[in-house]
Amino acid sequence: MQQPAEAGTVTAEAANRVFAITLFTDDLAQSKRFYHDVFATPIVHEDPASVAFGFPNIIVNLVQIDEAPELIAPAAVGAAGTPARTMLTLQVEDVDRACERLRALGVDLLNGPLNRPWGPRTATFADPSGHCWELSS
């Protein structure tokens, strides 16, 4: 059950919903091809430093890593190859069928498909910049 936001919180005062996720990428062209081939979602915005894909109810915005400091300063941009700290999960009808499609595209799975003790069947893969994606059904 969703609890009402308390007065004075960002959620109560301004935020309506999470509508976009920005991922920093080392090679924008390679990531664009990967996202186009793997997810087959429409591009909703593109410029020389970024490309945004329209997923149902959310935008996944890929930004060339050398543009990232402007967006997050004074925070530092994490280096490629550092341990994963985020996983994005996509709900799919059939994890096994989705994995077959990924393998046909040359995408290596990090794990799965496997049945999780808490219920869903999942599999995980990474994009060219190391962002982890989980498929779940």
Range of the domain at 102: 81-137
**Domain count of the fold of the chain:** 2
Whether residue 58 is found in the same domain as residue 93: no
Which of the four pLDDT bands, split at 50, 70 and 90, describes residue 3?
low
| Edge-to-edge strands, sheet with 121-126 | 87-91, 132-136, 121-126, 109-115
Note the pLDDT of residue 14. Answer: 57
Helices (H), the chain: 10-13, 28-39, 68-72, 95-104
According to DSSP, the β-strands at 20-25 and 43-47 are: unpaired
Whether residue 65 is found in the same domain as residue 101: no
Which of the four pLDDT bands, split at 50, 70 and 90, describes residue 22?
very high
Whether residue 70 is found in the same domain as residue 127: no
Q: What is the CATH number of the domain that holds 133?
A: 3.10.180.10
pLDDT higher than 70, residue 9: no
Distance CA 55, CA 51 (A): 13
Whether residue 49 is found in the same domain as residue 88: no
Whether residue 100 is found in the same domain as residue 90: yes
Please write the tens of the pLDDT for every residue from 62-115. 999 999 998 898 888 888 778 787 899 999 999 999 999 999 999 999 999 999
Whether residue 51 is found in the same domain as residue 105: no
Q: Which residues contact 100 (CB under 8 A, 6 or more apart)?
A: none
Average pLDDT on 28-41 reads 97
Which of the four pLDDT bands, split at 50, 70 and 90, describes residue 1?
very low
Whether residue 18 is found in the same domain as residue 67: yes
Whether residue 76 is found in the same domain as residue 16: yes
